[in-house]
Amino acid sequence: FRTVFIIMEWLEGRTLRGLLDDARRLSAREAASILAQVCRALAHAHGRAVIHQDVNPANIFLLPDGKVKLLDFGMAGPCGSPGRMTGTPHYMAPEQVQCLPVDERTDVYALGVTAFEMVCGRRPFEEGNAFKVMSAQVERDIPDPGRVVPGLCPILRDFILNACRRDPEERPPGATRLLELLEQPSALPL
């Protein structure tokens, strides 16, 4: 019938956004498990020179068996894509806000902001509107999550602070490096 259609996997579960709206904060173990799986998904995409450009809790899906899926590659593009202001404002890397070319470190930043929200129960910048949030992302460092949550696991604190550096040159070069941080033996408390 000359019909174009897309066949997609049926998923049962909920988004990380829904979980955070209910729970507000996750334990270090829960956060690390989700983050590690998203790092693997991003490493797979990055290995094919695909940058997601919209990593955020609404695009992270949690299955009942504990597995995680990274959703919505609708804004994805190749590494080095010309600058476009794409993404969800609270999770956009400074280079996205400034319409500069994107690479793996753009997704790293967004995952760092997501991790901040997972363990702190709020986003790093909660200014009144999207433009103020994006301005803060370009002009200010994120708050130290260890001050927001005293006693925060040092591994998660380092994960967040390294991923959310404003200068992409100072961020880990990709999700694989972040994953190495999370997979250290006995790195996280029970």
Is 137:4 a contact under the CB 8 Å cutoff?
A: no
Cα(30)–Cα(66) distance, rounded to whole angstroms?
10
Q: How far is CA 155 from the centre of its chain?
A: 16
157 closest CA partner among 118, 110, 104, 122: 118
Verify whether residue 54 is a known catalytic residue. yes
Q: Is the Cβ–Cβ distance between 125 and 71 less than 8 Å?
A: no
Q: Which residues make Cβ contacts (< 8 Å) with residue 96, sequence separation at least 6?
A: 53, 83, 84, 85, 86, 87, 102, 106
| Catalytic entry in 21, 54, 107, 158 | 54
**Locus of tokens 């997979």:** 183
Q: Using alpha carbons, list the distances in angstroms from residue 181 to 16, 89, 154.
A: 21, 27, 11
Active-site residues, by number, are 54
